[in-house]
Amino acid sequence: MYLKIATVNDDSVVAVKKLLAETAQRADKCLPAYLPEVGKPAQHVTEAMRHSLAGGKRIRPLIVLQSAQTFGLPADAAMPTACGFELLHTATLIHDDLPTIDNSPLRRARPSCHTAFDEATAILAGDALIIAAYDALAAQADIDGVSARAVVQVIAEFGRFAGAGGVIGGEAADIRGEGLKADRDLLEYIHLNKTAKLFEVATRAGAILAEAGDQYIETVGSYGRLLGLLFQITDDILDVTSSAKALGKPTGADEQAGKQTYPALVGVEGARQHARDMAEQALELTEALPGNHQFWRGLVKLVLDRQA
């Protein structure tokens, strides 16, 4: 059992970590271009946006860039779209941390946005980051070698996967599920929509920009969905087993809030087994992707074994 996981060598994981660090540096240079210059009366909003963007792992931008490269488009050519995903993701974290939702004082090892500023500023900064994400996605059309039709398709999918039928719907279900008895169907809905769909559309976006065939877009999207499910399961496990210092955010919050998680449903060991199952399924799909599979395989192992 778990034979495919065992075949992922340490070198591939090290290579993904190196690539992730390099991507973070490149994305950090590009992201400020999508933060507007505003007058002094509203300057605190852009300051809050910058505060919240700092320190992220940039795993979603990495996925966009590597998906584009896998299907023949130079990775950096997809950077505007990669930035769009990070802008949206950061917005969801700001809103997730709000007192009316998870009431978290810490994010990315820094005070959360509403803690560093105030609740109204945090709401507006999150809203502004969502709008900035669409600015970044639209800017993709200015890049040579990318068709406007592909850009429009990415924007359409981004909106569909991130809205009430995706990330926002998953967050709404997560809130409603607090305090209820652990329910597998509800839990799977939350994980799929709140987390996995953004991973799925990130993989699809890179492939769409590279004008990959429909079959490849579906395959890499399915991989992204499984990777996102794996990411959320490991996140739930770390909330139980890790520390705030290691994660850069409070731990034990899921249990305290009565959230729907796999540790609550099947225990920590059951959750770990489910994570391995997701990893195996994702690794199976890498065999249908073109080129070198080492990145996609190493990424699965990195997420499965992550400590933060």
pLDDT tens digits along 128-164: 999 999 999 999 999 999 999 999 999 999 999 999 9
Q: Three-state SS for 110?
A: strand
Q: How far apart are CA 58 and CA 181, in angstroms?
A: 34
- pLDDT averaged over every residue in the chain: 95
Q: What is the pTM of this model?
A: 0.96
Residues 3-304: name the CATH superfamily: Farnesyl Diphosphate Synthase (1.10.600.10)
pLDDT tens digits along 6-24: 778 889 999 999 999 999 9
Write the single-letter amino acid at 99: P
- Identify the sign of the CA torsion 47, 56, 168, 266: negative
Q: Three-state SS for 306?
A: coil
pLDDT tens digits along 64-111: 999 999 999 999 999 999 999 999 999 999 999 999 999 999 999 999
Task: Determine the average pLDDT of the residues in 193-206.
Answer: 98
CA neighbor of 300 nearest in space, from 65, 10, 13: 13
Higher pLDDT, 240 or 39: 240
Question: Which pair of tokens denotes residue 7?
Answer: 């075949």
pLDDT value, residue 10:
85
Question: Which pair of tokens denotes residue 104?
Answer: 């978290």
Q: How far apart are CA 252 and CA 65, in angstroms?
A: 33
